[in-house]
Structure 1
Amino acid sequence: MASREAWPATPKRARAMPPHAPVVLLAGLVALFSLVPLGFIAWVTYDVGWETVRTLVFRPRVGELIVNTIWLEGLTLPLSIVLAVTLAWLTERTDLPLSRLWAWLAVTPLAVPAFVHSYAWVSLLPGMKGLSSAVFVAVLAYFPFLYLPVAAALRRLDPAVEDAAASLGLAPAAVFFRVVLPQLRIPVCGGALLIGLHLLSEYGLFAMIRFDTLATAIVDQFQSSYNSPAANMIGGVLVGCCLLLLGLELLLRGNERYARVGSGTARPADRRRLGRWTLPALLLPAALAAATLGVPLVTLGRWLWLGGLSIWDGDVLRAVGQTLALALAGGVLATVAAVPMAWLSVRAPGKLQRVLEACHYYVGSLPGVVVALALVSITVRLILPLYQTFATLLAAYVLLFLPRAMVGLRASIAQAPVELERAAMALGRSPAQAVRQITLRLAAPGAAASIALVALGITNELTATLMLSPNGVNTLATRFWSLTSEIDYVAASPYAVMMVALSLPLTLLLHAQSKRTAGQ
């Protein structure tokens, strides 16, 4: 078994317990902690009783919020899929001029937080509100989550299958819809799931557009009445929506396999000539770049110009310092918490390990508002001294970004040869010493990447920080939100600029990772 191969023979006195049992215990503790939000929802539901649940959940207002959510998901996801697939096809499979530039510009909107997108558009068009505006801004903010996996998949597809279909008489359009598109099912479903989960958890974008969702209702209830049973019950409905979305993605993804079987490697696909369609095709990436980057940059530049140097005061520097401190601390804590499970998933896979790994990953699908709500209620009811403290805020960051830390660590640990651990133990090192001195040192670049990914996610996090941050603590996101709530767009602009500047490395990292995944 894989779990035994990771370790050499041990003395008789040490055989009573598997050598990786302490690691399983540590991973189990983190997994148990990650179940806190779900356990909180179940406990509150039981505590308030069925009558209260029925009164708070089965009422017209919650029905309106669910209908809003269905419309939002039902319109945003298809539009994002069509937009991302079309753009990925143009940049990866055609002779579109400046295709590398357009590919990079298609990813850079991720450097602009979603609520900054809405800030830019509302500043430009103050009358924007409601469902149509929410869908428009959400598509612009989130379609790169679909573009990245689809573009990577198109780079990996074997063009021989398309050539065979064309040789059988299929027209180019038929080849695309009958051969290429089915092979994009997995990346499309994965990207759509990611966007769908973001739509469920997003607060700032929709609050600024004045479109009510389950997440905005929870925050409103929380701000009007701390530890409100109504907010807790809406949180349960939101968790149910997340689980439903996960199940729907699993159903649509199916069990089909799309791997190439055979010797050698697939040749690069030939780029199709656009001919007279070149100019119309250029309009799509150009219009997207103008909408996703041009509008935010022009809007921010305008407000910065109007404010002058006076808006760059000490508050901005303090917000940058507090944001970086929280981001670094949260990144380190989340990465350290992910180490036991990342090591187990590579060195000792098994049924128990897969269950523990699922607990680590599922929490990433929960909205930040639900995680924050759970921690608020637990600290208020059970451990009041921890309410609105750095410890609680950092705990929320660990829960929210644990999956991000897992991804980089797993890949790095997998690249560290297990033979080096065995050699170290043969020379007298204990298993813990071998892992710490050999594997973790070799995995240091992946750990650094995980810390950076988590830290940059924390930089733009809004809802959990709003609900949990101690008095006097203002991150770039919360300070920006406070000023925009007062319609002081000029004073808010430096905070938006700094968030974009700190998010750019994440965008470059994601784009580079996409290239490496596709083998380029």
Structure 2
Amino acid sequence: MLTLSCFPLVMLPVSAAFSTADPSLAEVSRTLGRGAVRTALTVECRRVVPAAAAGALLVALYTISDFGAVALMRYDAFTLGIYSAYRGGLDRTAAAVLGLVLVVGALVLTLLERRARRGATARVGSGTDRQAEPIVLGRWRMPALAVVVAALTLSVVVPILALARWLSRSLRFTFDWVDVLAVTAKTVQYSATAAVVVAVLALPVALFAARSTSRAARGAELSTYIAHGLPGITVGLATVFLGIRFLPSFYQTAVLLVLAYVVLFLPLAVGSTRAVVDATPVVLEDVSRTLGAGRMRTDLRVTIPIAAPGIAAGAALVFLTVAKELPATLMLRPRGVDTLATTLWSTTEAFRYGEAAPYALALILISVVPTVVLTRALGRTTRKRVALP
């Protein structure tokens, strides 16, 4: 179930990296006698290793820090143990120890991701902006279609059918649709705000990490990923402490909630943005600098427009993840405010699955919004590429 819900964390950054890749390297490989399959494996796939590694790291960090799914399925994971320890008594030592194990695990996973990315192709290319030739799948068309259909069926169709079953078997046939719309609107508001804030804050971190090999750059990137490995309940408690002791005027407001989202989900935007910046031909930035443009102007007119698919992918991932974030939202949401995730949690905890079904369907529907935005962003990038005569 976690695999079905997390594969977009790899798919979206890789798609963004493919959409901005320079096709000339693959063409050179083909002219030197390599076939399509060997070229795809040794050249094209290697170009997206940073994006794939960053996505795989996000999946691993999300899995070890996930709370909602493991709690709902009563799986005895670290996050459920931390939640039980914090609620079960006054001694927080056991919870702190479990949280420390998660921090160490996040650090190990981040270091492994850096090693996997070390062998990737550097930022090279002619800088020619043009469209790559489409690959004819031939006999592989049906297997590829089968994989796509299976993924969509298991991750989209089956959940919708399950929700329909909940509705049909529910003893409650009337729903407060006004409340459903109000909770959905509040979820969209928080998710969109967090997506914009995180995308803006992730851009300088991604640019710094992509351009520099200094310890400061490595430390900045490493710290964001370690924070993502922390369970939401730990970050939520830390933010509650911050609000009570130092920012009482912002306690139980949307400001602290968005701050917790930034800490938790900044790597979602950093990973995809950096992957696209890594794939950007450095010659374009060099030409801009030789024409008299400064670093900031080059970033605004060259680097950021080229990295737009990665930025959009990161914002889309943040939107999706914030919409279903549970523990931090439970602890930090303003008084009297509910989101789709918290409403689902409260209703399913009471085994009112039929009542939870409309909120689950609304969560699926709002997940379409970032997907459409990302698809249009990638489509515009592709249409801008013009084949040279």
TM-score normalized by structure 2? 0.70
**Alignment correspondent of 1:160:** 27
- The answer on whether the counterparts of 1:232 and 1:373 sit within 8 Å (CA) in structure 2 is no
What residue number does 2:84 align with? 220
Partner of 2:367, secondary structure, is helix
Amino acid at match of 1:374: A
- Do 2:103 and 2:226's aligned partners in 1 also have CA atoms closer than 8 Å? no
> Distance in 1 between the 2:115 and 2:259 partners?
33
CA distance in 2, matches of 1:291, 1:329: 30
CA distance in 1 between partners of 2:11 and 2:375 (Å) = 11
Which residue of 1 is the match for residue 364 of structure 2? 500
2-side partners of 1:173 and 1:358: how far apart?
Answer: 34
Pairs aligned (count): 355
Matches of 1:400 and 1:330, distance apart in 2: 11
Q: Is the 8 A contact 1:320 1:475 kept in 2?
A: yes
In the other structure, the counterpart of 1:234 is: 98
1:465 to 311, 329, 336: 329
Shift of residue 484, structure 1, vs aligned partner:
1.2
Q: How does 1:277-316 map to 2 (within 5 A)?
A: 278-307=141-170, 310-316=174-180
Distance 1:499 1:218, change over 3 A: same
- Return the alpha-carbon distance in structure 2 between the equivalents of residues 256 and 314 of structure 1: 51
In the alignment, is the contact (CA less than 8 A) between 2:167 and 2:357 conserved in 1? yes
**2-structure distance, mates of 1:393, 1:313:** 26
The 2-side partners of 1:379 and 1:512 are apart by 39
- Does the Cα contact within 8 Å between 2:183 and 2:340 map onto a contact in 1? yes
Q: Describe the SS at the equivalent of 2:72.
A: helix
Is contact 1:345-1:353 (8 Å) kept? no
Paired residue for 1:393?
Answer: 257
* Corresponding residue number in structure 2 for 1:271: 136
In structure 1, the partner of 2:281 is none
Relative to 1, partners in 2 of residues 1:506 and 1:328: Cα closer, same or farther, differing over 3 Å? closer
Contact kept, 8 Å, 2:205 with 2:221, in 1: the verdict is no
Corresponding residue SS for 2:174: helix
Q: Aligned equivalents of 1:183 and 1:162: distance in 2?
A: 13
SS across alignment from 2:133? coil
CA contact (8 A) 1:148 1:511 kept: no
Contact persistence 1:344–1:353 (CA under 8 A) = no
For 1:188 and 1:333, the matched residues in 2 are separated by 24
Question: Residue 50 of structure 2 aligns to which amino acid in structure 1?
Answer: I
Contact 1:361–1:402, Cα closer than 8 Å, also in 2: yes
User: Amino acid of the residue matched to residue 156 of structure 2?
Assistant: L
Instruction: Map 1:305-344 onto structure 2 (within 5 A).
Output: 305-307=168-170, 310-327=174-191, 330=194, 338=201, 341=204
* Distance apart, 1:189 and its partner CA: 1.7
Query: How many Å separate the matches in 2 of 1:283 and 1:335?
Result: 34
Q: Is the 8 A contact 1:142 1:195 kept in 2?
A: yes
Residue equivalent to 1:66? none
Shift of 1:310: 0.9
- Give me the whole-angstrom Cα distance separating, in 2, the residues matched to 1:300 and 1:262: 51
Contact in 2 for aligned 1:341/1:356 (Cα 8 Å): no
Secondary structure of residue in 2 paired with 1:375: helix
Q: Say whether the 8 Å CA contact 1:323–1:459 is kept in structure 2.
A: yes
SS in structure 1 at match of 2:138: coil
Q: 1:476 to 1:512 in 2, by over 3 A?
A: same
- Seen in structure 2, the aligned counterparts of structure 1 residues 261 and 350 have a Cα distance that, compared at 3 Å, is closer
AA in 1 matched with 2:252:
T
Q: Kindly provide the CA deviation profile for residues 209-250 of structure 1, in whole angstroms up to 9, marking residues without a partner as x.
A: 332222222222223247722212211111111111000111
For the structure 1 residues 328 and 261, does the alpha-carbon distance in structure 2 shift closer, same or farther, using more than 3 Å as the test? closer
TM-score by length of 1: 0.55
Structure number with the bigger relative contact order (C-alpha 8 A, sep ≥ 6) is: 2
- Structure 1 residues 44-94: Cα deviation after superposition (integer angstroms, max 9, x where no partner): xxxxxxxxxxxxxxxxxxxxxxxxxxxxxxxxxxxxxxxxxxxxxxxxxxx
- Mapped to 2, the partners of 1:352 and 1:278 lie a distance apart of 46
> What residue is the counterpart of 1:48 in the other structure?
none
Distance in structure 2 (CA, Å) of the matches to 1:394 and 1:302: 35
SS in 2 for 1:311: coil
Question: What does residue 343 of structure 2 align with?
Answer: 479
CA shift in 2, pair 1:192/1:469, >3 Å: same
Q: Secondary structure at the match of 1:212?
A: coil
Distance 2:41 2:141 in 1: 21
Corresponding position of 1:249: 113
Alignment partners' CA distance in 2, 1:502 and 1:192: 24
Asked if the contact 1:476–1:496 (Cα under 8 Å) also holds between the matched residues in 2, the reply is yes
Answer whether contact 1:331 1:452 (CA < 8 A) is retained.
Answer: yes
Q: CA RMSD in A?
A: 4.8
* Percentage identity across paired residues of the two chains: 28
Query: Structure 1 residues 163 and 344, CA, compared in 2 at 3 Å: closer, same or farther?
Result: closer
Cα deviation code 1:95-114 (max 9, x no counterpart): xxxxxxxxxxxxxxxxxxxx
Per-residue deviation, 1:472: 3.2
Superposed CA offset, 1:377-401 (max 9, x none): 5556x45957962253333123234
Look up the SS of the partner of 2:325 in the other structure.
coil
Q: Which amino acid aligns with 1:303?
A: W
Deviations 1:336-363 (A, max 9, x none): 7x399579969x9997984785488446
* Residue type at the aligned position of 1:159: A
**What amino acid is aligned across from residue 136 of structure 2 in structure 1?**
R
Instruction: Report SS of the residue matched to 1:186.
Output: helix
C-alpha displacement of 1:482: 1.2
Aligned to 1:373: 237
Contact 2:4 2:155 in 1 (8 A): yes
1:190 to 41, 54, 58: 54
Single out whichever of 264-273 and 480-489 deviates more from structure 2: 264-273
Q: State how far apart, in whole Å, the 2-side matches of 1:322 and 1:267 are.
A: 42
Contact 1:459–1:477 (CA under 8 A) maintained in structure 2 = yes
